[in-house]
Amino acid sequence: MSAAPEQAFPLPDTTGIGAHYWNALREGRLDYQCCSRCHSAWLPARTECPKCLAAEWTWKIASGKATLISWVIYHHAYHPWFAKKLPYNVSVVQLAEGPRLISNVVAAGTTLRIDMPLQLIIEREADVALARFKPA
Ligand SMILES: [Zn+2]
């Protein structure tokens, strides 16, 4: 029996340019894009380098090391799926390689702080592999 649509996990778009990112997470790694011209690195996936607009880039594997840039604590669920997780953080995390992404820091009982060292963990939510982080 599947959940009613309003109760289902809000699925990300795993097609198009982002398909590689989601497939990599499913295979157990976090990949990011790196420009072949200026060596800028970024997430989320896009067709051109956000710095020099070159369309030549490659996927690279992130080390999993990151730092906490910022976060907010959600006390209200903006989608029914997340009601059972309240309160939870939505965090801006910077990979050691440079790209930033919106994620969650899984750290029950831990006080979050700016520049906190983090380590990638890949968790499954409704059969979607998600990049989350824990204190390193
Ligand atoms: Zn570039």
The rounded Å distance from CA 36 to ligand 1 centre is 7
Phi, psi for residue 67 in degrees, rounded to 5: -130, 155
| pLDDT on residue 128 | 93
Statement: residue 14 has pLDDT above 50 = yes
Statement: residue 121 has pLDDT above 80 = yes
Statement: residue 1 has pLDDT above 50 = no
What is the mean predicted confidence (pLDDT) over 123-133? 94
The rounded Å distance from CA 90 to ligand 1 centre is 28
Phi, psi for residue 91 in degrees, rounded to 5: -120, 150
Indicate whether this model's pTM tops 0.75: yes
pLDDT digits (tens, 9 = 90+) for 20-60: 999 999 999 999 999 999 999 999 999 999 999 999 999 99
The rounded Å distance from CA 53 to ligand 1 centre is 6
The rounded Å distance from CA 39 to ligand 1 centre is 6
Phi, psi for residue 15 in degrees, rounded to 5: -105, 175
